[in-house]
Amino acid sequence: MNSNDIELFSTTDFKAKDKVVSILVRHRVSYLERWEKVPLLKRREYGGAKELCVIYVNGNQYGKAKKILDEFNAAYADVKRAKRKRRRAQVDEGANGMNESPEYTEQDSSEQMPADYVPDDDIDDGIDDL
């Protein structure tokens, strides 16, 4: 690490790190990736992660890299928001499907059960005997 390197990004999320690195490479921004161990007592702050990835860039390219990272963050937030909306819609559809029960009419119930059907009241007696 050089004294001219500036911290751009730190994360415990491997997917986010991979995406940022690929964007930096695509825009030809040189970077340094450094993994730091998270002390046991601070792991709660980092969601239980054991390691933290810190991305450094050269001070001369920091402005360009920061602009790229800000654009990425906006796009990444939009994607996450869209996924949350889709998930909520699926949950709502599932909940609506569970709440909707078929409506039976008198005619339907008479077709399913014989006319001389009498409910058995002795079921409770069997439970009490146990």
Does position 7 have pLDDT exceeding 60, yes or no? yes
Q: Is the pLDDT of residue 25 over 70?
A: yes
Give the length of the chain.
Answer: 130
User: Among 68, 43, 44, 45, which residue's Cα sits nearest to residue 55?
Assistant: 68
The answer to whether residue 101 sits within a structural domain is no
Contact 20, 80 (CB under 8 A): no
Helices 14-26, 62-99: inter-axial angle, 10-degree rounding: 140
Q: Give bridge partners of residue 124 from the DSSP assignment.
A: none
- pLDDT higher than threshold 60 for residue 108: no
For the chain, the domain total comes to 1
Other CB atoms closer than 10 Å to residue 57's CB: what's the count?
A: 24
What the block records as the tokens of 90 is 């699926």
Establish if 95 belongs to a structural domain.
no
Q: Which residue bears the tokens 């002390």?
A: 39
Instruction: Find the helix or strand (DSSP H, E) in which 7 lies.
Output: strand 5-11
Does residue 63 surpass a pLDDT of 70? yes
Mean pLDDT of the chain: 77
Residue matched to tokens 């059960």: 113
99 belongs to a structural domain: no
Q: Would 118 be classed as within a structural domain?
A: no
- The CATH number of the domain where 25 resides is what? 3.30.70
With respect to residue 16, please indicate whether it lies within any of the assigned structural domains. Answer: yes
Containing structural domain, residue 31: 5-86
Token pair 């079921």: residue: 123
Q: Is residue 106 part of a domain?
A: no
pLDDT of residue 12: 85
Residue 124 counted as domain residue: no
